[in-house]
Chain A
Amino acid sequence: GAVVSQHPSWVICKSGTSVKIECRSLDFQATTMFWYRQFPKQSLMLMATSNEGSKATYEQGVEKDKFLINHASLTLSTLTVTSAHPEDSSFYICSAPLTSGSGETQYFGPGTRLLVL
């Protein structure tokens, strides 16, 4: 099956610093990728849709200046958490869709756990 990777898998940073998370589709191209955030024992919440060659689309309530998204190529999207604060600590997951004969399936990365001290 299709593989999506994320890097790093976990990161600890000081409050006020910026953190970049990479999402890569390893064996297929993705013009669109999705970024989610998941707090403990809660559902995945869509943050934004990353579009290759154009601006990302952010969900209501997500600050685009705080969560910078760059879809640099057909296999790479990055999420940068700028001026991170402890409340940004969460599990960040990306996904990329792949269309096959049975329809479109989202393939998820393994997630990145962010802890802001």
Chain B
Amino acid sequence: DSGVTQTPKHLITATGQRVTLRCSPRSGDLSVYWYQQSLDQGLQFLIQYYNGEERAKGNILERFSAQQFPDLHSELNLSSLELGDSALYFCASSEGGVGLAGVEQYFGPGTRLTVT
């Protein structure tokens, strides 16, 4: 158990809908990262938050947004869903993540999103 929790585990929804994925980092970790894993693209970085502020952005679509709250949990909002958004969405956390050094990341169990 990494200490990172994600809810829900599975989500099935229809095209055009909006969903929210939730992540609670390990106790004491200030950085939260969101990653998407799809069959054709593999694992891709979406976005990073550090202590409530956006720190880095990757291949995140405009239809997707995220935030980190004062209690450090994070939510990833996916709207106007398309079939191609079906994927595993992972959250990870780390103690740091704002400098130039590598940081060990702890992954949550993931949310499997199926868009029908």
Interaction A to B: no
